[in-house]
Chain A
Amino acid sequence: MFEYTFQWRQAFRALPQMLEGALVTMQISLLSMVLGITIAVLLAVGRNSKSIWLRAPATTWVEVARNTPALFQIYMAHFGLGSFGIYLSPFVALLAGITFNNAGYLCETFRGALRAIPDTQMRAGRSLGMGPAKAFRLIIAPQMFRIAFLPTTNQMVWAILMTSLGVTVGMNTDLTGVTQALNSRTFRTFELFALAGVIYYCIAKAVMLGARLLAWRLFRY
């Protein structure tokens, strides 16, 4: 039996603090996506490269990022590097961990998208007198982003939710961290975390909506 009287007033009074935490959460997830996409494009190109010196590190990154838990990656960024004397603050450790994870997953998304673009596109570009870099930038990349767009928004939502793992490395300013701190003071666990859940849901929905609008603006045929 669940024996508990819900006291929502106390939770709602904490709402401003939690919304501040939500801002930090959005900040981390947006930054991690921007950095993650940039690295992922480089990794995808690296994995498709003929040179082993580009392929090997890219493949290693992807293998580790995709086949270990995000919690482990974040923990390693904080305590793992810490044992070598490299101190990342909780914010940076969390950002690094999620970026590492994002880059790994997005790399595979982009690589799949690259495969889906017929070789003739590149050849057509070259035959119009473009160099390889210019052809990639103007012909291939836009098509790649269009194909990869929906899986990328998926990863974006995933990045938002992963920020909640920051509490394990001492993060206390993001939404989960703030909620946890409020919880320990008041013991109003269920109200506070229910509210946090709703806020996470709203952030994720808002980001998806924003992504739709962006896609409509950018990728219309």
Chain B
Amino acid sequence: MKFIKFAGALVAAALVAPAASADKLDDIIASGTLRCAVVLDFPPMGSRDANNEPIGFDVDYCNDLAKALDVTAEIVETPFPDRIPALVSGRADVGIASTSDTLERARTVGFTIPYFAFTFNVVTNADAGLQAYEDLADRTVGSVAGTYEAIRLEEDIKKWDKGGSFRSYQSQADVFLALSQGQIDATTVTSTVASAIVQGGKYEGLSMTGEAPYDVDYVGLIALRQEYGLLNYLDLFVNQQVRTGRYQELYEQYIGGDAPRLTVDKVYY
């Protein structure tokens, strides 16, 4: 009788205990759904196709991750400024959203090793007559609020202090609308977006005006800072994507050419 009671207690404990110590990774596996915060206003990383379905590099990364975890993927569309709120409020489990891994942000949110790297181009209104990045000093420029390039551009405008002004818009589409109308003279965007937009021909009068002299922008996947189990898994996932050639394959599919190196010289990550 005593033994049965003891066994019963053990079984009960086994049923209850995992729930008490389950972390985010367990939650995802148990729920059978992986919810990814993806920015769908940022081709070719994330956008919508003709049928309004999410497509892009980040969307495919979410699908790959879901497959690795043996769960179904769910894309949570998230504008750039809402990436952290989406994670913290529990609307998404992981952010696959080209998030620059700054030390200031890392105080709030957990980053993986870089899964992608961006360089930047200057895109100008063809009528503005701009030749180089330094010509922007006395102009009205703009970019998407909260992005790496927006922060760099605003800093430079302030540093030049030649009467230029900076505007931050809420979406990439608004920036290009303002640029093609002539409300702003120039913007800096990732080279991937720049070529997609200028060649896409959706907006009139835009022209590529060389590179913006910013450091390479390494971006990581993001998750809640305290979820080490999940962050470790994501690090391994990023590593495996590169190792298996999937990174290069998707890069060719969406951007073309050789995928950028994700390592920094002279230091381990």
Contacts and interface: CB of A to CB of B under 8 A. Distances in A.
Interface of A: 1-4, 7, 10, 78-79, 82-83, 85, 87, 90, 167-172, 177, 180-181, 183-190
B242 interface: no
A186 B226 contact: no
Contact of A177 (B108, B168, B177, B226): B168
Contact of B84 (A10, A170, A189): A189
A181 B105 CA distance: 13
Nearest to B146: A184
Contacts of A172: 145, 166-168
A192 to B, nearest CB: 11
B142 A83 contact: no
B205 interface: no
Interface stretch (B43-51, B62-70, B178-186): B178-186
Interface string B100-126: 001011011100000000000000000
B212 to A, nearest CB: 18
B32 interface: no
Contact of A181 (B107, B145, B177, B226): B145
Contacts of A83: 181
B213 to A, nearest CB: 21
A79 to B, nearest CB: 6
Given A170-B178, A186-B105, 9 more contacts: A1-B90, A3-B88, A3-B226, A10-B107, A180-B168, A181-B145, A186-B107, A187-B108, A189-B84
A97 to B, nearest CB: 15
A180 B145 contact: yes
Q: Which 8 A-B pairs have the closest CB atoms?
A: A184-B146, A170-B167, A187-B108, A82-B181, A187-B84, A4-B88, A172-B168, A187-B105
A7 to B, nearest CB: 8
A78 B108 contact: no
B181 A167 contact: no
5 contacts: A79-B178, A82-B178, A180-B81, A181-B154, A189-B88
Chain A facing B: main interface SS? helix
Contacts of A183: 81, 146
A181 B183 contact: no
A184 B150 contact: yes
A184 B145 contact: yes
Interface string B71-110: 0000000001100110011100000000000101101110
Given A90-B167, A172-B168, A186-B104, A78 B183 contact: yes
A79 B109 contact: no
Nearest to B106: A187
A83 B182 CA distance: 9
Q: Tell me whether chain B's interface is mostly helix, strand or loop, or mixed.
A: mixed
B88 A190 contact: yes
Contacts of B108: 7, 186-188
Interface in B166-216: 166-170, 174, 177-178, 181-184
Nearest to B109: A187
A110 B264 CA distance: 67
Contacts of A82: 177-178, 181-183
Contacts of B150: 184
Contacts of B224: 3
B132 interface: no
A167 B105 CA distance: 22
A170 B143 CA distance: 9
A187 B111 CA distance: 13
Given A2-B89, A180-B146, A185 B151 contact: yes
Contacts of B178: 79, 82, 170
B164 to A, nearest CB: 13
A183 B84 CA distance: 10
A170 B142 contact: yes
A184 B151 contact: yes
Given A3-B226, A184-B150, A187-B109, A87 B182 contact: yes
A79 B177 contact: yes
A180 B80 CA distance: 11
Contacts of B84: 187, 189
B166 to A, nearest CB: 7
